[in-house]
Chain A
Amino acid sequence: MAEHAVSHAPAPLGGRLVTPVTVTLAALALAAAVVLAFRFIYGLGAVTNINDGYPWGIWVAYDVVVGSAFACGGYVMALLVYIFNKGEYHPLVRPALLASLFGYTLAGASVIFDLGRYWNFWHILTPGYAQVNSVMFEVAVCISLYILVMWIEFSPAFLDQLGFGGVKKKLSKAMFLFIALGVLLPSMHQSSLGSLLVIFGRQINPLWQAGYLLPLEYLMTAVLLGFAMVVFEATLVSVGFRRPLETALLSKLAKFIWGLLIAYLAVRVGDLLARGALGNAFRFTIEAASFWAEMLCFAIPAWLLAAQARRNNPGKLFAAAVLLMLGGFLLRINGFLVGYETGAGWHYFPALPELVVTIGLIAFEILAYIVLVKILPVLPAQSATH
């Protein structure tokens, strides 16, 4: 802990921007841009496999639903540091916020890629056009606002360099408001992403149709994913940029994760038992297999994180974080695609161009993260540790 106390203030990492890694990432992002150009010229049918039975594909199920949950690092760290007043985690806030910023901004952009008549997207934000009773409306407005709020939250990192020091000072007085919003808004829309499935009723396999518990399950896993993402990203940053591991801080965090994970598993399994839906898990179906994969991804971390010794092991901590991310991913993909049955004959599997866009977006996120931590004060300065 001592080393962090000295090196609390964030500083730019510096170093070369053009490396084999950044070039590869840029190439992947460029490929996505080419596919998107096709999509905007020739329409959704030209590049995706979505159809009348599956009007959304991975651009919604992964890029938006999973992507925004993966981007909950900023949300959970703000929750922890500012709401639960755990100041010792502060060094993790800004890097987490940066990852969230891109995760959410690209999730918002993905919605536009997936809109058939994207030129009408502004309708949902326009009073008179918007259908205020719709869950989709709540999600859209919340995510749009949260993207704005996050840019404001992150702005102290770049306002100085842009020569807006005065603005930064004024902003810092009102920052508590934006931080509060930054915690409120994701709590709203992450739960609403679960609510989206409620109205699909019997089209969703009973294994995932948790009804009024869906918002709670989605919110809990969003928080879990946020924490897992913080562990994942902090570990990768340490390994990738050859910085010392933040295991001490992360293993303390892992204790929170474990508590929440146990609570989530209680809700999830309790709900399945209460609804008598568990029978569906013992059939030879893709849904059942996917269900067990999802449950294992939550159960193994519950064991990994249970003991102090394993939490202190960065390898096991990292494995638990990856499995949790996979579990949250599967929960959402299962709910939105695998367990979503719209009628006989309809099926969906992403087309190659769809995958290229999704991979390109992820590559762009990582690329932007690498570039920005090198030029902006995001990561804690390391002078005292070397």
Chain B
Amino acid sequence: MGETIFDLGSGDGIPSTVENRLGISRREFLQFCTAMAATLGLPTGAEAAIAKAIEKARRPSVIWLHFQECTGCTESLLRAEHPTLEKLILDVISLDYHETLMAAAGHQAEAARRSAMQANKGKYVLVVEGAIPTRDNGIYCKIGGQKAVDMVKECAADAAALIAIGSCASWGGMPSTSPNPTGASSVSEVLGKPVLTIPGCPPNPYNFLSTVVHLLTFGKLPELDKLGRPLFAYSRLIHDNCERRAHFDAGRFALEYGDAGHRQGYCLYKLGCKGPETHANCPTILFGDAGAGCWPVGNGHPCIGCTEQGVGFTKPVHELAVLKNVVPPTSYPRVVEEQGHSSFAAAAALAAIAGAAAGGAAMLARNLGKAHEEADVGEKQE
């Protein structure tokens, strides 16, 4: 955090403005900010940043909906470090509704959402996390008595931009896996129009943050592919930039978990890695800010294709991927080379030949010698 963050201002500066706007005393306001900072686990002095952020007029309002999901998208977002989520929600946007992060509960929360939608009509950003059940009129997911399918339509109607985060919201994800008893559907299917999607289970938080920053900085969405995925993150196959790619090209594969090839970091294609048919930037930006090699394939697990509809949660983990852009050689060398073997037939054949040759040579030598001696005797007799 920069130095200015600690500058609370003086006299009738920031807090006094807020006093007027929020209708609470300066003391009460600063107490609230400190409590928020503590709840979020923010460092000392962050209350000043919160104070400043809240004071700032008109950051774009964001409404974040949760449906059929595990909150993994939000969880991974909480662990982002550059920028951190609190920086995002405090400095950049105004997160007006988010079930995991908001302090409000119950009818109060729903009221806050409605008033934010009302106040920012046509200007707020809607983020949807989770699939939407549509079977039996969508009764399998309700929030405050309202069905998910109705809520998403209500919120989407006046939204300036719509982001579907995670594979569930993007294309149905895990809940939509066959037999899909709840009729889990993507945002775009429910609304009947294309939306920006950040698939992944969970998606890399930076793909979401970068999209939001792009939106705020340039006032428009980044370039998308035909599935609504930002091209900056989803234009390449994982296989293209994989750190194990050289092993694939050389034909060095792990064939079993823990075998010699696996321990040496060989290509995981034969263990079912879906890198060759999955679009994502995982090998480039890694995951979880834990350092080099920290992403599924880097850790030795084949990619399950979580970002790709029809691959993740659909194909078994061990199933061979469809190679989309590389035709492999017809045969590969073995990971463990055969060290040589001998056959009884060959040994017997060799022994037979050697025996026959030795016998033949010995007989010939003997006969030649005999003939020579006889000739010698003959000569002497003559």
> Does A346 contact B361, Cβ atoms closer than 8 Å?
no
B4 an interface residue at 8 Å Cβ cutoff? no
A256 an interface residue at 8 Å Cβ cutoff? no
Q: Interface residues of A toward B: which range? A: 20 to 34
Q: In chain B, residues 332-372, which have Cβ atoms closer than 8 Å to a Cβ of chain A?
A: 337-343, 345-347, 349-350, 353, 361-362, 364-372
> Does A315 contact B337, Cβ atoms closer than 8 Å?
no
> Does B366 contact A350, Cβ atoms closer than 8 Å?
no
Contact with A322, one of B337, B350, B361, B367 (Cβ below 8 angstroms)? B361
Task: State A314–B346 Cα separation when bound (angstroms).
Answer: 34
A316 an interface residue at 8 Å Cβ cutoff? yes
> Does B337 contact A52, Cβ atoms closer than 8 Å?
yes
A196 an interface residue at 8 Å Cβ cutoff? no
Question: Given A51-B339, A51-B340, is A355 in contact with B364 using a C-beta cutoff of 8 Å?
Answer: no
Task: State A355–B353 Cα separation when bound (angstroms).
Answer: 10
Task: State A84–B13 Cα separation when bound (angstroms).
Answer: 116
A53 an interface residue at 8 Å Cβ cutoff? yes
> Does B340 contact A348, Cβ atoms closer than 8 Å?
yes
> Does B353 contact A359, Cβ atoms closer than 8 Å?
yes
Task: State A345–B346 Cα separation when bound (angstroms).
Answer: 20
> Does A352 contact B372, Cβ atoms closer than 8 Å?
no
> Does A347 contact B368, Cβ atoms closer than 8 Å?
no
> Does B361 contact A345, Cβ atoms closer than 8 Å?
no
A-side contacts of B349, CB under 8 Å: 352, 355
Quote the shortest CB–CB distance from B189 to chain A (angstroms). 52
A218 an interface residue at 8 Å Cβ cutoff? no
> Does A349 contact B346, Cβ atoms closer than 8 Å?
yes
> Does A49 contact B341, Cβ atoms closer than 8 Å?
yes
Q: In chain B, residues 154-179, which have Cβ atoms closer than 8 Å to a Cβ of chain A?
A: none
> Does B361 contact A53, Cβ atoms closer than 8 Å?
no
Residue among A312, A348, A349, A354 having the largest count of chain B Cβ atoms under 10 Å: A349
Chain A residue nearest in CB terms to B353: A359
A-side contacts of B345, CB under 8 Å: 352
A125 an interface residue at 8 Å Cβ cutoff? no
> Does B339 contact A314, Cβ atoms closer than 8 Å?
no
> Does B343 contact A314, Cβ atoms closer than 8 Å?
no
Contact with A350, one of B346, B372, B373 (Cβ below 8 angstroms)? B346
Task: State A327–B372 Cα separation when bound (angstroms).
Answer: 26
Contact with B342, one of A245, A322, A349 (Cβ below 8 angstroms)? A349
Give 1 or 0 for each of B174-214: 1 = CB within 8 Å of chain A CB: 00000000000000000000000000000000000000000
> Does B369 contact A314, Cβ atoms closer than 8 Å?
yes
> Does A347 contact B338, Cβ atoms closer than 8 Å?
no
Task: State A162–B353 Cα separation when bound (angstroms).
Answer: 39
Q: In chain B, residues 304-358, which have Cβ atoms closer than 8 Å to a Cβ of chain A?
A: 337-343, 345-347, 349-350, 353
Question: Given A49-B341, A348-B340, A359-B353, is A315 in contact with B346 using a C-beta cutoff of 8 Å?
Answer: no
B-side contacts of A51, CB under 8 Å: 337-340
> Does B340 contact A351, Cβ atoms closer than 8 Å?
no
Contact with A347, one of B337, B340, B361, B371 (Cβ below 8 angstroms)? B340
Quote the shortest CB–CB distance from B378 to chain A (angstroms). 15
Q: In chain A, residues 343-367, which have Cβ atoms closer than 8 Å to a Cβ of chain B?
A: 345-352, 354-355, 359
A-side contacts of B339, CB under 8 Å: 51-53, 345-347
> Does B368 contact A318, Cβ atoms closer than 8 Å?
yes
Question: Given A349-B346, A352-B349, A355-B349, is A315 in contact with B340 using a C-beta cutoff of 8 Å?
Answer: no
Chain A residue nearest in CB terms to B342: A349
Chain A residue nearest in CB terms to B348: A352
Q: In chain A, residues 180-220, which have Cβ atoms closer than 8 Å to a Cβ of chain B?
A: none
Task: State A54–B368 Cα separation when bound (angstroms).
Answer: 41
Quote the shortest CB–CB distance from B240 to chain A (angstroms). 29
A319 an interface residue at 8 Å Cβ cutoff? yes
Task: State A102–B354 Cα separation when bound (angstroms).
Answer: 22
A-side contacts of B343, CB under 8 Å: 349, 351-352
Task: State A235–B361 Cα separation when bound (angstroms).
Answer: 11
A290 an interface residue at 8 Å Cβ cutoff? no
Give 1 or 0 for each of A353-386: 1 = CB within 8 Å of chain B CB: 0110001000000000000000000000000000
A239 an interface residue at 8 Å Cβ cutoff? yes
Give 1 or 0 for each of A212-239: 1 = CB within 8 Å of chain B CB: 0000000000000000000000011001
Task: State A178–B338 Cα separation when bound (angstroms).
Answer: 47
A313 an interface residue at 8 Å Cβ cutoff? yes
> Does B368 contact A314, Cβ atoms closer than 8 Å?
yes
> Does A318 contact B364, Cβ atoms closer than 8 Å?
yes
A-side contacts of B347, CB under 8 Å: 349
> Does B342 contact A315, Cβ atoms closer than 8 Å?
no
B-side contacts of A352, CB under 8 Å: 343, 345-346, 349
B-side contacts of A54, CB under 8 Å: 340
Task: State A314–B365 Cα separation when bound (angstroms).
Answer: 7
Quote the shortest CB–CB distance from B137 to chain A (angstroms). 64
Task: State A355–B350 Cα separation when bound (angstroms).
Answer: 8
Quote the shortest CB–CB distance from A369 to chain B (angstroms). 17
A-side contacts of B370, CB under 8 Å: 315
Question: Given A313-B369, A314-B372, is A239 in contact with B340 using a C-beta cutoff of 8 Å?
Answer: no
> Does A315 contact B369, Cβ atoms closer than 8 Å?
yes
Give 1 or 0 for each of A328-355: 1 = CB within 8 Å of chain B CB: 0000000000000000011111111011
Task: State A313–B337 Cα separation when bound (angstroms).
Answer: 53
Task: State A168–B343 Cα separation when bound (angstroms).
Answer: 51
Chain A residue nearest in CB terms to B350: A355
B-side contacts of A53, CB under 8 Å: 337, 339-340
Quote the shortest CB–CB distance from A172 to chain B (angstroms). 37
Chain B residue nearest in CB terms to A322: B361
Chain A residue nearest in CB terms to B344: A352
Task: State A247–B375 Cα separation when bound (angstroms).
Answer: 13
Task: State A239–B373 Cα separation when bound (angstroms).
Answer: 17
Task: State A345–B336 Cα separation when bound (angstroms).
Answer: 12
Quote the shortest CB–CB distance from B134 to chain A (angstroms). 57
> Does A315 contact B341, Cβ atoms closer than 8 Å?
no
A-side contacts of B368, CB under 8 Å: 235, 239, 245, 313-315, 318
Quote the shortest CB–CB distance from A286 to chain B (angstroms). 13
Quote the shortest CB–CB distance from A35 to chain B (angstroms). 13
Task: State A347–B338 Cα separation when bound (angstroms).
Answer: 10
> Does A49 contact B340, Cβ atoms closer than 8 Å?
yes
A-side contacts of B338, CB under 8 Å: 51
> Does B366 contact A347, Cβ atoms closer than 8 Å?
no
Task: State A322–B371 Cα separation when bound (angstroms).
Answer: 19
Ordered by A's residue number, 12 sampled pairs between the chains whose C-beta atoms are within 8 Å are A235-B364, A235-B368, A312-B372, A313-B369, A318-B365, A319-B365, A349-B341, A349-B342, A350-B346, A351-B346, A352-B343, A352-B345
Chain B positions within 8 Å of A, measured between CB atoms, are 337-343, 345-347, 349-350, 353, 361-362, 364-373
- Give the top 7 A-B pairs by smallest Cβ distance, nearest first: A315-B369, A349-B342, A315-B368, A319-B365, A314-B368, A347-B340, A352-B346
Sample of 4 further A-B pairs with CB below 8 A, known A53-B337, A245-B368, A315-B369:
A315-B370, A318-B361, A322-B361, A349-B343
